[in-house]
Structure 1
Amino acid sequence: MIVDSDLRSDVVQLSTGAWYDPLDPADPDSLCVHGNPNVLTPDIGTSSLSHGCTGQHVLVQIEKFDGALPPVKAFDPPVLRSR
């Protein structure tokens, strides 16, 4: 996180584009270690007419993370199993 005086106080800007990489894939509420912002929004469109993105309307709470960063595995190839 970077605190920037060019951004309004109490506003967070989060870039998109990170691949979803859950810390625990079995837990639907797991931390995304790669920072995908889609985990912050429900998978519901803005209306029945537009079905647009809801990412611009998210209330979040942030706090400093002091722990060891988990490894990003988003770019590791999946395990292939023969049939």
Structure 2
Amino acid sequence: MTPPNKDSLFGSKRQAPTDKANQLDSAVKEILASEHAIRERKTARLRELRLEKEALQSPPEPKTKSKRKAPKKSGTAETESDE
């Protein structure tokens, strides 16, 4: 067993800023890649379920256009007084 010293108790020397940045960058890329993979799997699963549901349903009936009614006239224009 090695005797305790400054390095074994408090860790080794400080990392160079570029090494620390590279380590952080790789960790972030791993996290983003895993999240992207999870999102893609979920999207594919939901797409398959939606397509299955649409295949089981009967096609929607065509909508008939309703006739437009004439807009109602408001009586405010006739009751305005001249000042």
> If the TM-score is normalised by the length of the shorter chain, which range does it land in?
under 0.3
Please report the TM-score for the alignment, with normalisation by the length of structure 1: 0.19
Q: Which has the larger radius of gyration?
A: 2
More helix by share: 2
- Report which structure shows greater RCO (CA 8 Å, sep ≥6): 1
Please report the TM-score for the alignment, with normalisation by the length of structure 2: 0.19
